[in-house]
Amino acid sequence: MHDHDHDHDHHERPASQAELRARALEALLVERGLVSTDAIDAVVEYYENDVGPQNGARVIARAWVDPEYRARLLSDGSSAIAELGFGGVEGEHMVVVENTPDVHNVIVCTLCSCYPWPVLGLPPTWYKSYAYRARVVAEPRRVLGELGLDLEADVELRVWDSSAEVRYLVLPERPEGTDGLSEEELAALVTRDAMIGVARVESPSGAAA
């Protein structure tokens, strides 16, 4: 997953004045006992990883266990996601695309970094890197391979370009060996990367489904 970061310059150039000021303010607030670095870390991590992917994961798990919900999700993603209480303040149009044994979907935003953040949280930094945005369109199979997802040659690969009007979410395949799992247990298996389409959902045993 971190291969994308090679072209990302966040760690290679000196901090900007504003970034230095942000660090200084944080240090001052820590000194005054108003914040702790750990508390800020927790918020940032929460926005990046916890809230969003969990929301999306609940949507996916519901679709796996409830065929009628799955049908609604695929026909009108925004409404079906709103049924579970998730949605953006701008009411963007969500389209859910389904992975099958024959078709694999992956999402990107070639223009900027459009991303279904109410269900997936803050986008990972690589999502908006030029390397990902450009290459996943030009050579998606290779990019996915570099990310550890090797698709069989006969699987059709569809790349969906998000925009302000339409945000895509991938409905991954339910992994094998999960028949006895509850909806909650299934949601715990679903990762952000699987809903972007750069990974599969792993079986509980740890092997790729």
Partner 1 sequence: MSTTLAQVDAELSGYAPLPRLNGELVFDEVWHGRALGMGVVVLERLGQPWSAFRDHLAAAIERHGQPEGESAAEAYYVAFLDAIESLVAAQA
Active site residues: 109, 112-114
CB of residue 34 to partner 1, shortest distance in Å: 5
Contacts of 128 (CB under 8 A, 6+ apart): 109, 112, 113
CB of residue 84 to partner 1, shortest distance in Å: 13
CB of residue 167 to partner 1, shortest distance in Å: 8
CB of residue 18 to partner 1, shortest distance in Å: 5
List contacts with partner 1 (CB under 8 A): 10, 16, 18-19, 21-23, 25-26, 29, 32, 34-36, 39-44, 46-48, 50-52, 88-90, 92, 109, 111-115, 117-118, 121-122, 125, 163-165
Residue 21 or 142 having the CB closest to partner 1: 21
* Token pair in block for residue 119: 């269900």
Residue 16 or 206 having the CB closest to partner 1: 16
Phi, psi of 101 (to 5 degrees): -60, -20
Q: Alpha helices of 66-164 — where are they, by DSSP H?
A: 67-75, 77-83, 117-120, 130-138, 140-146
Residue 130 or 176 having the CB closest to partner 1: 130
Residue 29 or 159 having the CB closest to partner 1: 29
| Bridge-based pairing state of the strands 103-108 and 156-161 | parallel
Alpha carbon of residue 35 to chain centroid: 29
- Count of residues for the chain? 209
**Nearest-10 crossing angle of helices 67-75, 51-65:** 120
